[in-house]
Every structure is written in C-alpha cells, then in structure tokens.
Amino acid sequence: MTTMTVARVRPTTLDDDRINALAETISLRGELLRTDEAIALVGPDGAVVHGQPGNRMGGLTNLVDNRRGIADLPPETDQRRVIPAEKAVAIVAELTEKLRLGPTIADGGAKLDVRVDARVTQGVRFDGKERYAFDAKTDVRTRVFLDGVPLSGPRAGVSATFLEDASPVLLAVTTWDAVEAFDEVEVLEKDEVVENLLATAKGRRKATPVEIVGASLAYWAGPYEGGADVLEPVWFVEVAHAPAKGEEVGPHQLVKVAAGVRSARRVAA
C-alpha cells in the first residue's frame, strides 16, 4: 500500500506593523482590533483580517477593498482596462515577499513547490439587444504542492483579484512559519475509493444511478479543528448523477474522502 506524509503546519502570527503595511497597499484606514485568535484593521472602505494560530482559519489573511466592485464599469465607456496578467503576478510576488506572506517562507524540511497562474477574466454585458464581452478582472492564483501533491481548501496558497491598477480589490493568502513531517499514513488506492463510494451510493434508499467522472489526490488545507494543525491526504471524487426526467444532464457532485487509513509509523513499530 502506498504511503504519504502527513505534514504539520505552524501558522504565522501577524503583528500591528504587518497588518498596517498590508492595509497601506490599498490606502485603507481604520480601527485596529485584536483578540487572542485574530487581528484586524477595519474601516468604512474595507478590511484586513488575519487568523492567528489557534483560529479555525489560522494563518489566513484576507484583504477586501469595498470602494470598488468587480461588476462596476466606467459609465462613459462600458469598458475596463484591467492590468495585464504578468504585471499582476509581479505585484503579488513583490507584496508577499516584502511582507513575508505566503507559503514560500515556510521551513521545517517539507518539500513545497509553488506554481503561479494568472489570467484576465471576461464578463458579458447585455443591453437588451446584444451581448458584449469585456475584460472584467485579472486573477492571480498560487497553487502549492507538497511532495508533488496539490493542496486544496480554504487555507491553501494565494489568490488575488485586480482591476485597473496595482492595488488588489481582493486578496487571500495563507502563511506558515513552518511545514514539518508529522506522520506517515497508508493511503487508499483510487480503485478502492471509487468502489466504496459506488457501493455506498447504491445502498441508499431512493438512490439515483451515478457515474464516477474522475478522482484526484490532494492534501486538505481545511479549517483548524483542534490538536495538531495538519495537512492530510484526501481523495476528491467527481460524481455524476443521472439526469431527472426531461433533463439532458444530471447534477455533478464533488465528494471529499479521507485517503489515509492508518499510521504507517505505528504499524511499523
């Protein structure tokens, strides 16, 4: 049976200086609020919020600029000149490096690989007669891989949204001071996961026929739930349900299944 590492993460603690510096990137002014589990700068124009270690979203920093809406368009042109994807990537890289944010600062021996994707996303405007495509926003997403396996979940990587200038309207970034090997678990094989899922679906009352579209392995970077703060392997399985009467396509569902069955270290011992 294949084994995989369970990694322990140590979320970073943000102080007043780093919160203020991040707020300054969008010229945000507001009141600084602190609790044992979070720190935030909140104002009428937006907010910066960080989950401290022990918070369900420990290590996650969110920035929101309320002054600009993604759906708002300049009334005189009905168009928007969004910044190029390459420029947005450079801005995010500079910002995270300057403020020591993001997964790349983590140490502890675990092998992290970071890959950046960026693109201009288009919207469609309808004036009652015709539909017009326009550049709506520029999105940057940083995907993190541990030993070649992608991380998924609300505390995974970096995402940012830009409009016309270098100030993000949305930013979410997870920062860990360390990522360390915590355990090693035996992992269910894909065929076994699919077989178990189909058997469960078949055994339900009033069950509709289902098909498995695909399954992929990932590390789940979910909310902290107590104990060690870990990244554990999971299978994400896409399930297609049979269409209802009169429909051509049925609903699709993404099911998360724990991949680790038992500690390989404890078995070996």
Residue pLDDT, tens place only, 139-177: 999 999 998 999 999 999 999 999 999 999 999 999 999
Q: pLDDT tens digit string along 16-61?
A: 999 999 999 999 999 999 999 999 999 999 999 999 999 999 999 9
The reported pTM is: 0.86
Distances (CA, A) of 102 to 106, 155, 175, 240: 8, 11, 4, 35
Residue 265, pLDDT score? 59
Residue 139, pLDDT score? 97
Beta bridge partners, 116, equal 142
Beta bridge partners, 253, equal 239
Would the pLDDT of 267 be above 80? no
Q: pLDDT tens digit string along 203-224?
A: 776 767 888 999 999 999 999 9
Percent of the chain with pLDDT strictly greater than 90: 66
Would the pLDDT of 268 be above 50? no
Question: What are the sequence ranges of the domains in the chain?
Answer: 8-181, 182-268
Smallest CA-to-CA distance from 110 within 81, 77, 79, 145 is with: 145
Residue 266, pLDDT score? 47
Residue 214, pLDDT score? 93
For residue 60, which amino acid is it?
A: L
